Chain A
Amino acid sequence: MANTTVDPLLEEIIGPTPGQLLRKRVFGHQGLMIGAVVLVLITLVALFAPQLAPHDPYAQSLVARMKPPVFLGGTWEHPLGTDHLGRDYLSRLIYGARVSLMIGAIAAAISGVIGTAMGVAAGYFGGRVDAVVTFLINVRLAMPVVLVALAVVAILGGSLTVVIMVLGFLLWDRFAVVMRASTRQVREREYVAAARAIGASTPRLLLTEIMPNILNNLIVVVTLEMAHAILLEAALSFLGLGVQPPTPSWGLMVSEGKNMMLFEPWLVLIPGAVLFVMVLAINLMGDGLRDVTAPENRN
């Protein structure tokens, strides 16, 4: 038998597992908790929109146009008032959460898959693959997102699907940049060399040695791009080139309210505020996730 002496310090050194440490950091991070709670609430509202909405978001009523919200002297019949077509504003906000979340999630997922594949390949293989990907990233960065989105939507016509696709195929640049940089860093670690010396195949290396160690950065970019996509959808809808009426979208609501902005500012302020809160919540969560998963915070 070889040397079987156990380090005398072993007992002391074995502390909490990484899982326990992570849980502690997550629940101890205020920004992350606030962002997560708000986002979970919005998600629940979006999921249970039919149960929660007091009215049909599409039902117009010409006799009940632009009723003010309760806090401006309105009635509880329409807690947040009605818009210029007499549609219940609260119900439209609730259904609008669905549109925003769906666009954010699907666009971030599409661009995440594209950008991660490109970035990881470039970072891991280097050389020519890297040169091609870097070129594509530069091409993409040279195109102003809003203008390209406007052009495409103008040609194909605005619809939820078109907006999601356009954003999904435009917002992969940050994924590619961040994943490329993280992969380059992680591939130099000796555990990757060790796994190669053991005989691990390239797909296995990428999946089990590299991916788990760049996942934290990926999650942060996902949140950022979700917020980005949601804001872009609002901007496109505001310009009339996004989701088409009568679909309830927060950007569209701001757009429809802007004519009456000087007389009934709440028409713009209410959807603007929820948009702001949602993007803030996502960004708080992204920042928080970066904080709790950053290597310098590990023990």
Chain B
Amino acid sequence: MLDAAKTPPALELRNITKTYTVKQGLIGKRRPLTAVRDVSLKLEKGEVLGLVGESGCGKSTLAKILLGLEPPTSGEVLVDGQALGVQDRLALARRIQPIFQDPYSSLNPRKSIADIVSLPLRIHGIGDAASQQKAVRDMLDVVGLPPRVMNTFPSQMSGGQRQRVAIARALIMKPEIVICDEPTSALDVSVQSQILNLLGDLRAEFGLTYLFISHNLAVVEHLATRVAVMYLGRIVEDVSSDDLFDASAHPYTQALLQSVLTPEPGLGVPDTQLGMAYPNPIDPPSGCGFHPRCRHATNLCSAQAPRPVPHRDGHVECHLHDPETAMFGTD
């Protein structure tokens, strides 16, 4: 604790909001869509923060903002206590690298594997051609691919192998932070655990800090030291993974846990048993965004948005757990 107080978090989001303008239909008028709503989040050095939530809740948008690929509409991203905007793009690239969801789209189909994995070294001008080749070979070995694949192309590989290539590309410059945006959800179930294990091993070997994004709590829970649950652009609960099963508070977190604990959780899209469809982010529900699907919802929930309250060593946004409003919950 003391340590964490002294060294700034590896990554910090302060009041990040991202609003897109979307046009509905051909002649529809432009409307704002708030993909991320006033999110503050810290990623401490060495931890694995799992970010879970249903598809469309804003996870990838958050990842793009962290990577500097999208500017936030408002708010600040701090890397080691420094604002992202003032950091040199190349310096930032050496510290934070992404692993994307779809290995069929994340590798340039016109480039050989050696070209793809060595691209970071070439862009940053690290070493000569020979040493780059050697670095690629070593990195491929680390991710479990033989040197033979260097002269092949992505189209010749399976999804799992491609994802290994993407991991090699992300790690070849020895970054400190890796943002994994659903790194296994496009893969066959049989390959998913291989990639998860590889990511776990690599974290130990290189001392990496992960932001691990998934729509499936079962996937996150393997690796994460802390879990942030996202719903409609908000982090509704932030809980250490030790407390996840016993002491998580938000009804949404519990619904996600339920879906993991059902007899055959699988690794696909979990059934949240929440019945009603996920709300349209262009027309979010009033008050607490989760209230239409919540078993415990009261009049208050549809009227007033809950505020974040500390819970264990994290926080939760729910009227049930806010001492000032909890009394209304027991109708």
Residues of A in contact with B (beta carbons under 8 Å apart): 1-7, 9-10, 13-18, 189-191, 193-200, 204, 209, 212-213, 298-299
Contact of A14 among B119, B141, B148 (CB under 8 A): B148
A299-B155 contact given A2-B143, A199-B90, CB 8 Å threshold? yes
Task: Kindly list chain A residues whose C-beta atoms are within 8 Å of the C-beta of B94.
Answer: 199
Residues of B in contact with A (beta carbons under 8 Å apart): 64, 67-69, 89-90, 92-94, 96-98, 100-102, 105-111, 116, 119-120, 123-124, 141-146, 148-149, 151-153, 155-158, 160-161, 166, 169, 194, 197-198, 201-202, 205
Contact of B100 among A5, A16, A17, A190 (CB under 8 A): A190
Expressed in whole angstroms, the Cα–Cα distance for A6 and B92 within the complex equals 32
Name the CB-closest residue of B to A17: B153
Contact indicator B202/A190 (Cβ below 8 Å): no
Contact of A213 among B96, B108, B169 (CB under 8 A): B108
A194-B106 contact given A2-B142, A3-B194, CB 8 Å threshold? yes
A3-B144 contact given A17-B156, A193-B98, A199-B89, CB 8 Å threshold? yes
Contact indicator A212/B98 (Cβ below 8 Å): no
Contact indicator B157/A190 (Cβ below 8 Å): no
Expressed in whole angstroms, the Cα–Cα distance for A13 and B197 within the complex equals 22
Expressed in whole angstroms, the Cα–Cα distance for A189 and B119 within the complex equals 17
Expressed in whole angstroms, the Cα–Cα distance for A16 and B155 within the complex equals 10
Contact of B156 among A4, A5, A14, A194 (CB under 8 A): A14
A3-B198 contact given A10-B146, A193-B98, A198-B123, CB 8 Å threshold? yes
Task: Kindly list chain A residues whose C-beta atoms are within 8 Å of the C-beta of B64.
Answer: 193
Expressed in whole angstroms, the Cα–Cα distance for A97 and B116 within the complex equals 44
Expressed in whole angstroms, the Cα–Cα distance for A199 and B169 within the complex equals 13
Given A2-B198, A191-B107, A193-B106, 14 more contacts at CB 8 Å? A3-B194, A3-B197, A4-B142, A7-B158, A13-B156, A14-B149, A18-B155, A190-B102, A191-B105, A191-B106, A193-B100, A194-B106, A212-B108, A299-B155
Task: Kindly list chain A residues whose C-beta atoms are within 8 Å of the C-beta of B107.
Answer: 191
Task: Kindly list chain A residues whose C-beta atoms are within 8 Å of the C-beta of B120.
Answer: 198-199
Name 11 A/B residue pairs within 8 A (Cβ), A-sorted.
Answer: A2-B201, A3-B194, A3-B197, A6-B144, A7-B158, A10-B161, A14-B148, A17-B153, A191-B116, A194-B106, A299-B155
A200-B123 contact given A2-B201, A17-B153, CB 8 Å threshold? yes
Measured between C-beta atoms, what is the minimum distance from B114 to chain A in Å? Answer: 13
Task: Kindly list chain A residues whose C-beta atoms are within 8 Å of the C-beta of B123.
Answer: 198-200, 204
Measured between C-beta atoms, what is the minimum distance from A143 to chain B in Å? Answer: 26
Expressed in whole angstroms, the Cα–Cα distance for A2 and B195 within the complex equals 12
Expressed in whole angstroms, the Cα–Cα distance for A191 and B202 within the complex equals 22
Q: Which 10 A-B pairs have CB atoms at the shortest separation, nearest pair first?
A: A199-B93, A190-B106, A2-B201, A212-B110, A190-B100, A199-B90, A190-B105, A191-B108, A3-B198, A198-B120
Measured between C-beta atoms, what is the minimum distance from B121 to chain A in Å? Answer: 10
* CB-based A-B contact count at 8 angstroms: 110
Contact indicator B148/A298 (Cβ below 8 Å): no
A213-B197 contact given A10-B146, A18-B153, CB 8 Å threshold? no
Measured between C-beta atoms, what is the minimum distance from B239 to chain A in Å? Answer: 29
Task: Kindly list chain B residues whose C-beta atoms are within 8 Å of the C-beta of A298.
Answer: 109, 155
Expressed in whole angstroms, the Cα–Cα distance for A218 and B249 within the complex equals 56
Name the CB-closest residue of B to A21: B155
Contact indicator A194/B169 (Cβ below 8 Å): yes
Name the CB-closest residue of B to A19: B153
Contact indicator B110/A213 (Cβ below 8 Å): yes
Measured between C-beta atoms, what is the minimum distance from A48 to chain B in Å? Answer: 36
Expressed in whole angstroms, the Cα–Cα distance for A71 and B69 within the complex equals 70
Task: Kindly list chain A residues whose C-beta atoms are within 8 Å of the C-beta of B111.
Answer: 212
Task: Kindly list chain A residues whose C-beta atoms are within 8 Å of the C-beta of B149.
Answer: 10, 14
The residue in A3, A189, A196 that gathers the most chain B C-beta atoms within 10 A of its C-beta is A3
Expressed in whole angstroms, the Cα–Cα distance for A204 and B67 within the complex equals 19
Measured between C-beta atoms, what is the minimum distance from A43 to chain B in Å? Answer: 27
Name the CB-closest residue of A to B104: A190
Task: Kindly list chain A residues whose C-beta atoms are within 8 Å of the C-beta of B148.
Answer: 14
Expressed in whole angstroms, the Cα–Cα distance for A193 and B102 within the complex equals 12
Name the CB-closest residue of B to A18: B153
Name the CB-closest residue of A to B88: A199
Contact indicator B157/A13 (Cβ below 8 Å): yes
Measured between C-beta atoms, what is the minimum distance from A261 to chain B in Å? Answer: 50
Contact indicator A2/B153 (Cβ below 8 Å): no
Contact indicator A195/B201 (Cβ below 8 Å): no
Measured between C-beta atoms, what is the minimum distance from A225 to chain B in Å? Answer: 24
Task: Kindly list chain B residues whose C-beta atoms are within 8 Å of the C-beta of A209.
Answer: 108
Name the CB-closest residue of A to B112: A17
Contact indicator A5/B144 (Cβ below 8 Å): yes
Expressed in whole angstroms, the Cα–Cα distance for A188 and B123 within the complex equals 21
Task: Kindly list chain B residues whose C-beta atoms are within 8 Å of the C-beta of A199.
Answer: 89-90, 92-94, 120, 123-124
Contact indicator A4/B100 (Cβ below 8 Å): no
A6-B146 contact given A17-B152, A213-B109, A298-B109, CB 8 Å threshold? yes
Expressed in whole angstroms, the Cα–Cα distance for A18 and B154 within the complex equals 9
A2-B98 contact given A14-B148, A15-B156, A213-B108, CB 8 Å threshold? no
Contact indicator A1/B142 (Cβ below 8 Å): yes
Contact of A196 among B69, B108, B145, B161 (CB under 8 A): B69
Measured between C-beta atoms, what is the minimum distance from B68 to chain A in Å? Answer: 8
Expressed in whole angstroms, the Cα–Cα distance for A193 and B100 within the complex equals 9
Task: Kindly list chain A residues whose C-beta atoms are within 8 Å of the C-beta of B116.
Answer: 191
Contact indicator B105/A189 (Cβ below 8 Å): yes
A194-B98 contact given A10-B146, A10-B161, A18-B155, CB 8 Å threshold? yes
Task: Kindly list chain B residues whose C-beta atoms are within 8 Å of the C-beta of A213.
Answer: 108-110
Expressed in whole angstroms, the Cα–Cα distance for A264 and B105 within the complex equals 61
Expressed in whole angstroms, the Cα–Cα distance for A207 and B138 within the complex equals 28
